Amino acid sequence: MIRLEKRPTPSRGWAWATPIVAVLATMVAGGLLFGALGSNPFEAIRTIFWDPIFGEFAFYYRGQLLVKAGPLILIAIGLSLGFRAGIWNIGAEGQYIMGAIFGAAVGLAFYPMEARWLIFPLMVIAGVVGGYLWAMIPGILRTRFNTNEILVSLLLVYVAEQILAWMALGPLRNPDGAGFPGSRNLGQYASSANKELIAGWGMHWGVVAAFIAVIFAYILLSRHILGLNIRLAGEAPRAARFAGVNPERLVLLCLGISGALAGLAGLFEVAGPAGQISIDFNVGYGFTAIIVAFLGRLHPIGILLAGLLMALTYIGGEAAQASLGLPASAIQAFQGMLLFFLLAFDVLTNFKLRIGGEARA
């Protein structure tokens, strides 16, 4: 009989080791899954994890890595602050959409004016505001009416998707687009384009923002009293109140930051890689970022690494789709599996496994 025994102090070694062990376990289980789907498991794993960085077409994929990792890291950093405080914003996908809509609307309003120094910063601000406001809905409902923020933030994703569809077909539709759904291409409008900063690297302003967010979050959590309060609120809510933390203000703050960062990610995406507001603009970054946040142990540096890894699975997944005919949804299942393995191995951080001994009643 295997028993769990609580460790007096959480194991630091395991805290770092579990994500790695989880990734390895997911590779094994994923290999079996792909094998069951009729692909060669080794080839599939190699295509997903190795080829995008070192393979024949790496020059293309490497750039894609940062393009995909940028929004994931940016969103996950915001979410991690809330998750640490026990505030569960799981509607980042909706905030991401609203940031994109707000930002794009500002950009399109100025079309075809040429004033990048004014228009692009205004779009960035609008993106932040869009995500922030959308996240404030669950925030205010939670603090004013005690409404569960998990459910509200999530339900608002579906509302945001409908607004996105409405915008793409109605108010923001490209007047010169021959009736096709979708807005003008912001990437081709010099004043609004979020261009690659270094050719071939995939580095755009959103990636820069993600790196800055990582640094800020690191300093906040390790050095600032607000970071201590956030951790306190999550680990021991009563102790946090004893320490003078105002729980309502913290809810608004955490939701606000995560909404603003998700909105920012949406703006950079719509002005850059995606280019336009369209019905299928959102591809689930807001949800994958939840996995990134956990895989990174809610730690800024961990999130940076996890974001890159998760971006790799996206790109590798696309590659495997092209070369092995692996279905797109396989990667989604694969990412879900990764989260499961991480949560499962996490038990080792706080508990020791004992074999034999007393059976529990």
Interaction with other proteins in 20-79: which residues (CB under 8 A)? Answer: 37
Cis omega (within 30 of 0) for bond into 112? yes
Smallest gap from residue 197 Cβ to other proteins (A): 31
Which DSSP state fits 87?
A: -
Q: Among 215, 223, 248, 301, indicate the residue that binds other proteins (CB under 8 A).
A: 223
Footprint on residues 232-271 left by other proteins (CB under 8 A): 232, 235-236, 238-244, 246
Q: Which residues does 26 contact at the CB level (< 8 Å), separation at least 6? A: 334, 337, 338, 341
Smallest gap from residue 199 Cβ to other proteins (A): 34
Strand, coil or helix: what is 55? coil
Contact of 103 with 266, CB cutoff 8 Å: yes
Footprint on residues 184-213 left by other proteins (CB under 8 A): none
Q: Among 17, 208, 226, 308, indicate the residue that binds other proteins (CB under 8 A).
A: 226
215 binds other proteins (CB under 8 A): no
Alpha carbon of residue 216 to chain centroid: 17
Task: Give the range of 178-186, 208-216, 259-267, 329-337 binding other proteins by CB under 8 A.
Answer: 329-337
Q: Which residues does 50 contact at the CB level (< 8 Å), separation at least 6? A: none
Contact of 265 with 71, CB cutoff 8 Å: yes
Smallest gap from residue 306 Cβ to other proteins (A): 14
Alpha-carbon span 345 to 21, nearest angstrom: 8
Smallest gap from residue 131 Cβ to other proteins (A): 18
Q: What binding mask, one character per residue, do residues 332-361 give for other proteins by CB under 8 A, x or -?
A: xxxxxx-xx--xx-xx--xx------xxxx
Residue found by looking up tokens 């505030």 in the block: 87
Q: Among 13, 38, 170, 175, indicate the residue that binds other proteins (CB under 8 A).
A: 170
Which one, 69 or 87, has the nearer CB to other proteins?
87
Q: Which residues does 95 contact at the CB level (< 8 Å), separation at least 6? A: 89, 130, 131, 132, 134, 135, 160, 258, 259, 262, 263, 266, 286
Smallest gap from residue 272 Cβ to other proteins (A): 26
Alpha-carbon span 323 to 52, nearest angstrom: 12
Smallest gap from residue 237 Cβ to other proteins (A): 8
Q: How many residues bind other proteins, per CB under 8 A? A: 76
Q: Among 185, 231, 308, 323, indicate the residue that binds other proteins (CB under 8 A).
A: 231
179 binds other proteins (CB under 8 A): no
CB atoms within 10 A of CB 59: 9
Smallest gap from residue 133 Cβ to other proteins (A): 15
Which one, 5 or 176, has the nearer CB to other proteins?
5
Strand, coil or helix: what is 179? coil
Exposure pattern of 24-39 as b/e (b: 16+ CB <10 Å)? ebbbeebbebbeeeeb
Smallest gap from residue 196 Cβ to other proteins (A): 30
Q: What binding mask, one character per residue, do residues 127-166 give for other proteins by CB under 8 A, x or -?
A: --------------x--xxxxx-xxx-xxxxxx--xx-xx
Which one, 58 or 140, has the nearer CB to other proteins?
140
Which one, 131 or 286, has the nearer CB to other proteins?
286
E strand or H helix that includes residue 18: helix 12-36
Smallest gap from residue 87 Cβ to other proteins (A): 11
Residue found by looking up tokens 């980042």 in the block: 92
Footprint on residues 281-320 left by other proteins (CB under 8 A): 287-288, 290-291, 294
